[in-house]
Amino acid sequence: MRPLYFRRMLCREGTYYTLMVIGVFLWAVTFGANLLVLVAGLLTGPLLLNLWLSKRTLKGIEVSRHLVGTVTAGQAIPVDIQVDNRNKRSRWVVAVQDRMRGEWTGQPVKELRPRLFFASVPGGQHRRLTYRIMMPQRGRYRFGPLRISSRFPFGLISARRWLHDETALTVYPRLGHLSSAWQRRYFPVPQGTTGSRRAGRAPGDFYAVRQWQPGDSSRWVHWRRSVRQGQLIVRQFEQPSDKRFILVVDLWQPERPEWEDLQRVELIVSFAATVVSDLCHRPGFHLRLTLTGSPPQTIQGSTNAAVQSAALDRLAVASATHQVDEGAVWESVAEEFSGPSEIVVVSPRAGTLLAKNWSDTAPAHLATYWQIIGPLERRFSEYFKAG
Amino acid sequence: MAVLSATMVGMGQGNYWLPLVVALLAGASLRFCDRFGQIVLDWWVINVAVLGTVAIAIWRFAQVTGAPDAAVAAEGLIGLQVVMMFERKTSRTHWDLFSLSLLQTFLACAFYHGPLFGLVLATYLFFLLVTLNLLGIHRQQQRSRSAEGSHGGRTAYEAGLRTDWWQVAGVAAGTLIVGPLSLYLRLHPTSERHEGRSHKPDGQHPARLLGSRGRSGELFQPVLVDAARSSCSEPFGAEYWWRFGRMTVACLLIGAVVFLTTPRFGGVNVSLIRGGTGSWQSAPLTLQRSVGYDDQVQLGEVGSTLENTQKVLAVRLRRHRDNADVPLVGTLFLRGAVLNRYSGGSWQWVSPVDNPSDLMLQAVDTEFERQDAPMELIRQEFRVEPMDRPDLFYVWPSIRVNRDVRMRFDSDAQRFRRVGTIVRRAFNYELVTAELVDGQQAALAPAVAPVELAPLMEWSPESFPALARLAQEWMDQANVPPSDLMGRARALERALRSSPRFSYRLGEQPRDPALDPIEDFIVNDPRGHCEYFASALALMLRSQGLPSRVVVGFKTDEFNQLDQRYWARQSHAHAWVEAYIPAEAIPADVHQRHPLFDWSHGGWLRLDPSPSSLSELTLAEYLRQRWRDWRTSMQTAWTQHVMQMSGTQQFSLIYRPMLTTVRDTLTRMGEARSDGQFSGTPRQLITLALPWIIAASLAIVAFAWWTFRQHRLGKNWRGRDRRSAKRWWGNGQTSHPIDFYRRWESLLLKRGLERPPAQTPREFARHAADRLNGMAGQPPLHESAQCVIDAFYQVRFGGSKLDDRQIARVEEALQHLHQSTRGKAPSRTAVESER
C-alpha cells in the first residue's frame, strides 16, 4: 500500500510539556540550580524519544481495509481494518483513522472519520478491528485514504502516515416487500422452471465468467479458472427468456423539491430495486429497466444476477430531475417492444395531473400493455411495503 | 509518582513521615475511591482545597522567617494532591495529579540532596515515563471511543473540548485571586461528554426514512454505529516493561548529556540550596568547622571533632613528571598549623624574632617545568570542602606549582592559605613535595629556613615535675647515647605510645584544676586524645633538651580504591610532634636524598606518640570499608559533579580534555616530523596516518551505505511505478495472452466506455464501435473492434494462441483505436445502450 505522505507534529500535551521543560530549563540556567538543570535534562529525554519512536512505530506496519461488496440502504455494514506488523517486535498504540465520504448521493452526506485504536500488535502478527456504519442512503461512497498514527510512547508527539487505499462502495437502494397482490397481478403462473429445460443444463451461449453464487450448477464451474483464482468461478450463459417485463422509472421531482417529493423519489427507486431483485430471481424473464434522464438509461437482459447487479448499480446513483422527456422514453421502449410484455411505469407523479404526460406520449400500440403506478396511489401501497 | 515526589520533598526536609503518609493515603484512595467508590469528593471540594492551599501557604509564609519557602509550597501541593486522589478520576484528574507531582519534584530541587536523591529521581523517571504512556493510551482510547465520526471531521470528544470562553474568563479571574493554582479549579462538574463516551445513535432510521417527516437531510446521514476497541491487557507483558526500562536508561543518558553541556554562567548559586535538618541529609551544606588553626588552641578543641565523620578533604598523589599514581604505605600526615608555645593548657604559635620570610617564600614558591622535575617529586592534588577558614593542608615541606595565585604561604603563621574570596566553598589546589619516599612519608623533613630554638625549648619545670621525672626515667631505660638525638626522641615517643599506663580516649576528662592539664594527664588520669599525647611528648622532649613543637593537621589512612584518593574526615584531625634535629645530627645518607631543599638548617623529625588502633581487618570490617569507600566515592561524585557543577568544572571536565587531546595529537604528529625520528618509512607513515585512514574509511562506508539506501528506496518506488505502468499500459508487446484485450478495454475506458457485467464482450465491442463511429471526425472502428474481439475469443475461450500475423493485426487495430481515442472524451457514463 503506497504511503501518501508522512508527518510528525506536537500534540497538545506535547506543547504544554515542551513549554514546561523550556520554562524549567531557563529558570535553572538563570539561577544556576544544578538539580533543576538535571531534572530539565531528564525531562528532555521523553520528547526526543517520542520524536524518534513515534515514527519508528509506523515502520513495517501495513493496514488494509476489508469491505463487503454490496450493501443495501438501511443496513449497517461492517468494515474490517487489519493492521499487520511486519516487524519482529511489538508495536504499541497504533491508531487508524478511516474516512468515508459520499461520492454520489442524493442528499449531501457528512464525512465520517471512524477511529480505531490498536493498543498492541505483536511482532509478525496482525490485529483486526471492525467498525460498523449505518448507511441510510443509497449512492456511491468512497472509503479512504487511511491514516495511521502513533503517539507511542508518551503521547507528546504524533507521527502520521497517510496510505493511498481507497475503496468504493455502492449502496443499493433499500429493498422492500412486494405483496401477493403484485405477484398475482404480474406473475400469475410460475415461469420457466418445469418442462422447459432440465435443471442444471445451461442452454445459452457461454460469454463470460463470474463468481459462484448459491443456486449455480456444479456443471457450470470453470475449474481451471477456479484453481487459479482460489475461488469457485462459473461460466455465464445467455438465457433465453419467454416473457418480457419492462419497468420504467420516472425520476421526476419538482424544480424545488420538498421533503415529500424527495421521499417519493426514494420510494419509487426502492420499489424499482425490489421489483428488479424479485424478477432476477425468476428464471425465464427478460427484463428491461429504463430510467428517465437525458438520455434515458436502460439496462436489459435475461434475468440473472448480473442483470440484477447492473440494475441496482444504476439505481443506486439514479438522480431525479424536473425535466423528463417522456416521449424519448416511449420511443426507446417501443423500439425494443416485441410482443406481449408487461410495461410498468413507476412515477412519483402517478395519481396527479402531471402523470398525464405519460399517457399523452404513449404509443398507441402499447396502450394495452402499460400502466402507471406511484406512491400517491392506493394500489402502490397494496403492492409494495417499504423496508 | 505521588509517593516518589513526596519522598524527594521529604528528603530535602529530612522528614521521614511525609512519604509514608502520602503512600498510605494513595493506597486508601485506590481502594476506597477508585475501586469501591466509597469516598468520592465532589468538584467543589477540590475548589475549596485549592483556595485553602493558597490561604494556608500565604499564612505560613507570613508566619515563618528565614525558613525554606520551597518546603511550604511543596507541602501545600502535596495536600492538594492528596485531596485530588479522592476525586472521581477523569482525564483531567490524572493530568492534574501528574502535574502536581512534577511541581513537587521541581520544588524538591531547591534542597540540598545527596546521591540517594539521584537514585530516587531515576526511579521517578521510570514511573514518569510509564505514566505518560498510560495517559497517552487512555487519551487515544477516548478519542477512538467516540462513535460519531464527524463534526467537520472532528469527534464528539474533540467537539466537547472546544474553547469555552466562560471557562477561560473564569480561569483568568481565578488567577488573579489564587494565582497559578487556579488552573486546578473545577469551574463546572465533569461531564460525560468530555470523556468522549460512546454515543449510541438512534437505530430506527430505516423506518423513519420513508415513513415520517423529519428535518431534511438529517436522516440521510451515515452514522458510525460502533467501533471495536483493542483490549489493553496485551501491552503489559515483559516486553513492555523491558522496553520502558531501556527508555529510562536512554532518558538518563540524554539527561546526563544535557546536564553536562548546559552552559553555566558563573559559579554555583548556593542561594537556592537549603540545608536539611534530618539525618537523611548526607552532607548538609554547612561549612566545615576547622579547629586547631587559630593562633591559640585550647587543649580539647581537636578532640571535639574526632567523632565527626564529615569529609574535609581528599588528596591524590601522583608523580609530578609523568602523572603516575603513587601508592603509599601507611598513613599520611597533612600539616595544617604549627604551635610552639605552651601555656596553661593551650598552645599557640609565636613568630620567631628573625623571620626568614623571604627565604621561606622563595623556598616554597620555586617553580620549574614538569619535564625537568626530578622523579622523586610527588604532586598532591587536593580538594578541600567548604570550610570556615582559609587554611590549607599539605605534606610538609611542599612548594607551589603553576603560580597558583589563589593561595599563598603565610610565613608569619607558617601556613598555606587560600585567598579570602574563595573561602567557604570547595577548593582545588596542588602542591609538590619530595617527602614521599619509597611509598612512605618520610619521618624526617628538612627545615627550609633557619630555626629559632628559643620558643621550641620553653617549658616550666616547676609545672611539670612528674612529667620531667617520667621523661628522665624513660630516657634512662632506653639507654640511648646523648649524641643520638633522633634515637632519644624516638625512644621517648615509643615509651609514651607503648606505655600500658596511658590510653587513648576521646572526649574530655575532668582535670585537676590545681595542676596543669598535661601534668594531670601524667600524674592522675593518663587517658586522653592525641592532643594530650602530643603535648606530653613535646614537653618531655623539651625537658630532655630537645627542641620540639606541636603540629595540628590530619592523619589519615583512608584510601579509596575507586577514586585513588586519600580521604580526610573531621575524625582524622590529629596532633603530633616535630622535634628539631640540627644538621650535624642528621645522617649523611639523608643529605643525598632531597632534591628541593638542603639540610643545612637541620630537620624536623615527626613523632606520633598517640597509641595506634590499627589491627588486622576482619571480613566484616573489610566489607564495611569497601562499602564506605563506595559510598564516599558516590557522595563525592554527586557533590562535585552534580550539586557543585560550575562553568569552570565543565571546562576542566569536558572541554579541556578534548582540547588537550586534540592539541597533544597534533603536537605529537608535528614532533614526529621535526625531531629527526621520522624518517618517512612506509611503516611510520602508516602508523601516523592510521587513525585518520580508519576514520575516513568509516565515513566513506557510512556515506556509501546511506546513499545506497536512498537510491534503493527511490528505485523501489520507481520500479513499482514502472511495473504498474507496464502492467497497465503494456509496452507494445503482448506479454500475456489477453493483455491486448485489457489494453483494448483501457483505451475504451478513456473514452468513457465500460463493459457492464451483463454484456458480452462482443456486444460491448459492437456498442463501443457504434458509439465511437457516431462521433464526428472518428474513423470507422468496426473492423478493428471485430479483429480484437475475434482474437480475444480465440485465445480466451478457444484455448489457442495467436500467430504472428494475427498479433500484427491486433496491434494495428489497437493503434487505430489509440489514435481515435486521442480526441476529447465524452462524459464518463456506464451506459449500456441508448437510442
Q: What is the pLDDT of residues B667-722, one digit of tens each?
A: 777 665 555 555 556 666 666 667 777 888 888 888 888 777 766 655 554 444 44
How far apart are the C-alpha atoms of A156 and B767, rounded to whole Å?
Answer: 60
Interchain proximity A44–B230, CB inside 8 Å: no
Q: Would you say B608 and B576 are in contact if contact means Cβ atoms under 8 Å apart?
A: yes
Beta bridge partners of A102: A141
Structure confidence at residue B835 (pLDDT): 32
Interchain proximity A117–B831, CB inside 8 Å: no
Structure confidence at residue B15 (pLDDT): 79
Contacts of B492 (CB under 8 A, 6+ apart): B471, B474, B475, B478, B537, B540, B541, B544, B607, B609
Q: Is the pLDDT of residue B264 over 70?
A: yes
Of B771 and B284, the one with more pLDDT = B771
Q: Is the pLDDT of residue B206 over 50?
A: no
Question: What pLDDT digit, counting tens, does each position of B222-232 carry?
Answer: 777 666 655 54
Interchain proximity A129–B229, CB inside 8 Å: yes
A4-13, A239-248, B502-511, B723-732: range with lowest mean pLDDT: B723-732
- State whether residue B64 sits within 8 Å of chain A by CB: no
Nearest CA in chain A to B217: A107
Question: What pLDDT digit, counting tens, does each position of B755-811 carry?
Answer: 776 667 777 887 787 777 655 555 567 778 878 888 887 776 655 678 888 888 888
C-alpha cell at B537: 611528648
Query: Positive or negative, the Cα torsion across B267, B274, A23, B105?
Result: positive
Q: Would you say B272 and B258 are in contact if contact means Cβ atoms under 8 Å apart?
A: no
Beta bridge partners of A211: A233
Interchain proximity A386–B113, CB inside 8 Å: no
From A39, A134, A137, residue closest to B105, measured CB to CB:
A39
Q: Would you say A168 and A132 are in contact if contact means Cβ atoms under 8 Å apart?
A: no
Question: What pLDDT digit, counting tens, does each position of B169-204 carry?
Answer: 776 776 666 667 777 777 665 444 444 443 333 333
> Among the ranges A110-124, B64-78, B740-754, which has the highest mean pLDDT value?
A110-124
Number of neighbouring beta carbons within 10 Å of residue B297: 22
Beta bridge partners of B432: B379, B399
User: Domain-by-domain residue ranges, chain B?
Assistant: 2-202+244-258, 296-454+548-614, 666-710, 739-820
Interchain proximity B832–A299, CB inside 8 Å: yes
SS3 B306: coil
b/e map B152-190, b = 16+ CB within 10 Å: eebbbbeebeeeeeeeeeeeeebeeebeebbebbbbeeb
Of B79 and B619, the one with more pLDDT = B79
Q: Is the pLDDT of residue B70 over 70?
A: yes
Q: Would you say B253 and B247 are in contact if contact means Cβ atoms under 8 Å apart?
A: no
Instruction: Give the model's confidence band at B216: pLDDT under 50 very low, under 70 low, under 90 confident, else very high.
Output: very low
Q: Which residues of B touch A24 (CB under 8 A)?
A: 106
Domain spanning A177-195+241-385 has what CATH number? 3.40.50.410
Query: In one letter, which amino acid is B381?
Result: E
Q: What percent of chain B has pLDDT over 70?
A: 69
- From residue B242, alpha-carbon distances to A85, A88, B138, B622 in Å are 20, 15, 21, 36
Mutate: best of B212, B230, B640, B835, partner A, most A CBs <10 A: B230
- Nearest Cα of chain B lies from the Cα of A368 at a distance, in angstroms, of 23
From A34, A208, A267, residue closest to B645, measured CB to CB:
A34
Structure confidence at residue B717 (pLDDT): 44
Residuewise pLDDT in 10s, chain A (387 residues)? 445 567 778 888 899 899 999 999 888 888 778 888 999 999 999 999 999 999 899 988 989 888 876 788 888 888 999 999 998 888 988 999 999 888 877 777 788 888 888 988 988 999 998 888 888 888 888 888 889 999 989 999 999 988 877 888 889 998 999 888 888 877 765 543 343 344 444 455 566 777 887 777 788 888 888 998 888 888 876 555 567 888 999 998 888 888 888 888 999 999 999 999 998 887 778 888 888 877 778 888 888 888 888 888 889 888 888 888 888 888 888 876 766 678 889 998 888 878 788 888 888 877 777 788 888 888 888 888 887
User: Domain-by-domain residue ranges, chain A?
Assistant: 1-172, 177-195+241-385, 204-238
Q: Is the pLDDT of residue B613 over 50?
A: yes
Determine the distance from the C-alpha atom of residue A201 to the mean position of all C-alpha atoms in its chain, rounded to a whole number.
34
Topology of the domain comprising A1-172: Immunoglobulin-like (2.60.40)
Interchain proximity B272–A76, CB inside 8 Å: no
How does the average pLDDT of chain B come out, rounded?
A: 74
Structure confidence at residue B823 (pLDDT): 52
Structure confidence at residue A105 (pLDDT): 78
Of B469 and B505, the one with more pLDDT = B469
Q: Which residues of A touch B265 (CB under 8 A)?
A: 29, 32
Secondary structure tally for chain B: helices H, strands E: 25, 21
Scanning the structure block, which residue is given the C-alpha cell 487459479?
A228
- Taking only residues 51 to 110 of chain A, the set having a beta carbon closer than 8 angstroms to any beta carbon of chain B reads 73-74, 76, 89-90, 92-93, 95, 100, 102, 105-110
Which residue from B462, B470, B473 is spatially nearest to B523, judged by alpha carbons? B470
Query: Positive or negative, the Cα torsion across B50, B51, B57, B61?
Result: positive
Question: What pLDDT digit, counting tens, does each position of B429-474 carry?
Answer: 888 888 888 778 888 888 877 888 888 888 888 889 999 999 999 9
b/e map A225-243, b = 16+ CB within 10 Å: ebeeeeebbbbbbbbebeb
